[in-house]
Copies of this chain bind each other. A is one copy, B any other.
């Protein structure tokens, strides 16, 4: 129910910044070098932050020469995009919780838990994304688009619940969806990452706030 991580995403939506400009390696050796650079970049970014990282630190961490970096990427932004792309698989948690299909509360809880778990697994990267989004308009836009996709889908679900008479009909679905999704992503950053509380507590509270907030009537 959050918005940064690509849980449960429709496969046909372009999620990343344009990756078309990046030169792909043509040999196996090249592919290995490129992969090493991407892995090194993630380590460097997580260690030093996006800003703190110097481009030359990346090939250094990957044990290759400076020039090699420019063979595959042409800027810090570009390799950051590649890092994000490489992280996707990890983030798409395997068993997406369509739970037992129909109990909306169970679905919400499962979604929230899935989101928060994925967030924690990639906490440092999430922080980086935030940082980069505040710095680079392209990533800000990327983030906005992603958030919009989730918000819209959640908005549709909310509208459905309203139509079925299960949720407060006076709430604007899109705005509500944005507020509640934002709430989850925000508390993940503020509470979970600094480990102020346990995962279960957080899941419980945010789920209650979703359910209460929507005035969800349990489908008994």
CB within 8 Å of B: which residues of A?
49, 51, 127, 130-131, 134-135, 144, 147, 168, 170-172, 175-176, 178-180, 182-183, 185-187, 190-191, 197, 201-202, 204-206, 208-209, 212-215
Contact = CB atoms under 8 A, between A and B. Distances in A.
A179 B175 contact: no
A175 B205 contact: yes
Given A135-B131, A197-B175, A180 B168 contact: no
Majority SS at the chain A contact face: helix
Contact of A190 (B134, B147, B204, B205): B147
A147 B61 CA distance: 37
Contact of A178 (B130, B147, B190): B190
Given A179-B209, A182-B182, A209-B209, 6 more contacts: A51-B135, A171-B205, A175-B197, A175-B202, A176-B205, A212-B212
Rank and list the top 5 A-B pairs by shortest CB-CB distance, nearest first.
Answer: A183-B183, A182-B186, A209-B213, A213-B213, A131-B134
Contacts of A190: 144, 147, 178, 182
B176 A209 contact: yes
28 contacts: A49-B135, A51-B51, A127-B134, A131-B134, A131-B135, A134-B134, A147-B190, A168-B208, A172-B201, A172-B205, A175-B191, A176-B205, A176-B209, A178-B187, A178-B191, A179-B209, A180-B209, A182-B182, A182-B183, A182-B190, A183-B186, A185-B186, A186-B186, A208-B213, A209-B209, A212-B212, A212-B213, A212-B214
